[in-house]
Amino acid sequence: MSDQAGKSDSTISAELSRDLTLFHVMMMGLGMMIGAGVFVGIGLTMPKVGPGGLLLTFALNGVIAVFTAMSFAELSSAIPRAGGAYNFARIGFGRGASFVAGWMEWFASSLAGAFYAIVFARATVDFVVKFLLNMNTTGLAASVTVKVVALTAAGVFIYINYRGSSETGKIGAIFTVAQMLFVLAIGAIGLIVAVIDPQRMTNFQPFLGEDGSWWGLLGTMGVIYVAFEGFEVIAQAGDETIDPKRNIPKAMLYSVAIVTVTYVLVALASVVAFKDPGAGMSWFGDGNLNPTAKFTGAIEHLIPISGAGWLLVTFAIIASSTSALNATIYSATRASFALGRDRMLPPFFAKLSRTRKTPYIALAFTAVIVLTAAGFLDEHDGAATASIMFLFLFFVVNLCVIRIRANMGDELEYGFIMPLFPLLPILAIICQIALGWGIMGESIVAWIIGPAWVACGIGVYMLYSRSRVPAVAHEIQVLHEQSAGDDEGRYGIMVAVGNPANALELVQNTYKLCGAKDARVDLLHMVRVPDQVPLSDADEYMHEGRESIMETMLYLGPLFPISSHLRYCRSISRGILSGVRDNRVDMLIMGWHGRPKARTFNIGSTIDPIIERAPCNVVVLKGCGGNQVFKRVLVPLAGGLNGLFALEIAKILADPEEGEVTAVTVDAGRRRKKFDIDAFVETNIQTGKLEGPVRTKTVQAHDVVEGILAEAADYDLVVMGCTREPMVSQLVHTPIPETIAQRCDKPLVMVKASGRIRSWIKRWI
């Protein structure tokens, strides 16, 4: 009975209710961004970089935010699940990177929540004490009061998040609409004043202030970047949004556009608030005022009605900071929920309340971080620390969008695809590095807390998470693995076997290559399991793979150490590449059956990506089955590592008694500098890279492809190197080696040699 119960429990999954509309998720993003960040940011920025630097801080941060929002929008449309950057890193770089991303995402959103709680408390206390009670707000008593109010506000919104996502979305939307009205009113008044009284535009002189600098601008941009992070909150709502593939990208891009325009308008209003040139800089430079009070005072000058400025700004700050606090607690909770759901953290993080369907334990741990940060950090260090964590996180996401598009673009169903790929994520990465460097000059605390949290996360993963994380649908699943023992020191050859009919075609030539290298053999078969079939039923699809491997082992097993692997993956090429990396093989052998049906690929949808990305030597066999004897072997050459490797393979496959290898090049009469085939062969023989003898021949022909095909008619086997051009450039024209491979009717071998540096990068990165 207990066994059945345990089995039943293992099949029950935790799901979130899907009831958030485009309006709700867009309001969540705007709620995190609009208002509180700009109020504090203006007070922090103006004294350091002047009025012009103030506008540039918000405008340029908006542009940088658009770059990263594009990456989030594309990935969220293809992978709409709670977890955001954590899920993207899981699919892009694997478990270790995904845990660190989720760990950073959890902390970054929690710190942002603490920052907004402090902003709310500071504005509320200033308003009550100064405006209502007409008292001084400085001193220890005021500081303690601010902390108490901040902790209370955080506690209230932790409870609101416990009530559920529908409550969270509706309450957050109410606060966001209110704050939008207040903030836009301030911006509109500032714009009207600038139009009516153009003389106030002279307040922008000096543009960067008396002591401002472009380096200082970089620092202020980095600190205030936390005010642009709302699209990350939207990414967390993938499991709870209606039609997420369409609504999440829209919400992200709309919210960033709205918030950037709003920030610039409010910054303009704060500059033109003062009639006398220089009065604004004197006001913002007053060290006795906190950042929020500086902005509030500026708006009081803008609206010369007694108490009107204070009331308007106070209500705007209260509305904006509370909605941002609500959104960041939501985001942080969903990040830790995703870590628990995938066993990165203890499974109880993924427990849902029976009545509210909210992740209450994940929320409790998030509350600890939010309350601790709110109790110990001030506005400046809180904003800087949250910003540095978000910069770390967004750096990972921009790498992920490039890697996922390259490796899985044909597997995922995108609802949005960014333009100008990969220019935008590359620009975002460069800008994020620059902003992180700028923060170093603004807050050492941020650069202590941020890396320390990341280091703790790496420790948690190594000690706990790494051994407990199950594979998910987008990863490679090892279904069966049989090791031959400790033969890691030997040259490793992996054979990707298909079905029993073609498995034996690889045996004879694999035998020759293994014998020449004294190699260990890894047999790999990728199991095709339909997307709709649960992973637990994958065993039903393993029969063919087992048969293929057994047939091959009958021939090779008595001669070489053999390991066998059966793996499940949605993408065969990605599965084979994963096997190559996991088993540290030196050579991959595959079979090929001719020209692909899809014109997108030169060799095939499986082989093309492997040739480009494999971190090892690759040998592709076409029509080389049976007991064929290769007495005359032709190797077309144009130089390079692939050409040298082709000669090496040709020498191994040629008949040991009567085999003859001929290296050929075609003189088409168009090259300014002709390839010296004799010098190439002789040099490599003298340096020991190639065993002789090798005949050389130069063929005169108007067309390189036709010349080689005509020459191949007199040979038993053709061995040639693949092109080194990337796949994207091959879409424009099919390279010469691939064209020959498609048209040649002789047994043919295509090879790709691994370059040391390039292969190391592919293996580890």
The secondary structure element, H or E, covering residue 750 is: strand 748-752
Cα gap 36→120, rounded to integer Å: 8
With a cut of 80, say whether residue 654 has pLDDT above it. Answer: yes
Higher pLDDT, 232 or 435: 435
Higher pLDDT pick, 143 / 479: 143
Instruction: Centre a 10 Å sphere on the Cβ of residue 605 and count the other Cβ atoms it contains.
Output: 15
- CA nearest to 56, candidates 179, 219, 297: 219
Token code pair at residue 169? 């979305």
What are the φ and ψ backbone dihedral angles of 634, each rounded to 5 degrees? -105, 135
pLDDT value at position 688? Answer: 87
Q: How far apart are the first and last CA of the chain?
A: 47
Distances (CA, A) of 347 to 98, 158, 685: 17, 21, 61
- pTM > 0.75: no
With a pLDDT cut of 90, the percent of the chain lying above it is: 27
Sign of dihedral through CA atoms 33, 36, 39, 42?
negative
Average pLDDT over every residue of 1-17: 40
Q: Six-digit token pair at 524?
A: 């790999």
Query: According to the model, what pLDDT value does residue 530 have?
Result: 54
pLDDT per position as a tens digit, 507-525:
777 788 888 888 888 888 7
Q: What are the counts of helices (DSSP H) followed by strands (DSSP E) for the chain?
A: 28, 11
Q: Where are the alpha helices (DSSP H) in 358-506?
A: 360-376, 379-408, 423-440, 444-463, 500-503
More confidently predicted of 126 and 747: 747
pLDDT at 516: 87
Q: How far apart are CA 684 and CA 212, in angstroms?
A: 62
Joined together, the tokens standing for residue 361 give 């334990």
Is a pLDDT exceeding 80 seen at residue 599?
A: no
Q: What is the mean pLDDT of residues 111-119?
A: 89
pLDDT level of residue 576 (50, 70, 90 thresholds): confident
Please state which of the ranges 38-42, 275-279, 378-382, 647-651 shows the lowest mean pLDDT.
Answer: 275-279
Helix, strand or coil, per DSSP, at residue 620:
strand
Least confident of 296-310, 349-363, 375-389: 296-310
Give me the chain's average pLDDT, please. 79
CATH topology of domain 17-467: Amino acid/polyamine transporter I (1.20.1740)
> How is the beta sheet containing 477-482 ordered, strand by strand?
477-482, 562-568, 520-527, 492-496, 587-592, 617-622, 748-752, 717-721, 632-636, 660-667, 695-700
Do residues 277 and 205 make contact, with C-beta atoms less than 8 angstroms apart?
Answer: yes
Predicted local confidence at residue 65, as pLDDT: 93
- Interatomic CA distance for residues 47 and 53, integer angstroms: 10
Determine whether 579 is exposed, middle or buried from the number of CB atoms within 10 Å of its CB (0-12, 13-18, 19+): buried
Given this model, what pLDDT does residue 483 score?
52
Cα dihedral 407, 409, 414, 419 sign: positive
> CA-CA distance, 241 to 245, in Å (whole number)?
9
- Domain regions of the chain by residue span: 17-467
Question: Given pLDDT bands bounded at 50, 70 and 90, which one contains residue 16?
Answer: very low
Question: Would you tell me how many other CB atoms lie within 10 Å of the CB of residue 165?
Answer: 26
Q: What is the 3-state secondary structure (H, E, C) of 505-556?
A: HHHHHHHHHHHHHCCEEEEEEEECCCCCCCHHHHHHHCHHHHHHHHHHHHHH
Is the pLDDT at 737 greater than 90? The verdict is no
- The DSSP letter of residue 475 is S
**Amino acid present at 545:** G
Q: What is the mean pLDDT of residues 443-453?
A: 93
Residue (of 674, 645, 648) closest to 661 by Cα position: 648
Rounded distance between C-alpha atoms, residue 135 and residue 126, angstroms: 9
pLDDT value of residue 518: 83
Q: What region does 250 belong to: left with phi over 0, alpha with psi -120 to 50, or beta?
A: alpha
- Residue (of 484, 493, 466, 468) closest to 579 by Cα position: 493
Judge whether 332 and 369 are in contact, CB under 8 Å: yes
Task: Report whether pLDDT(367) > 90.
Answer: yes
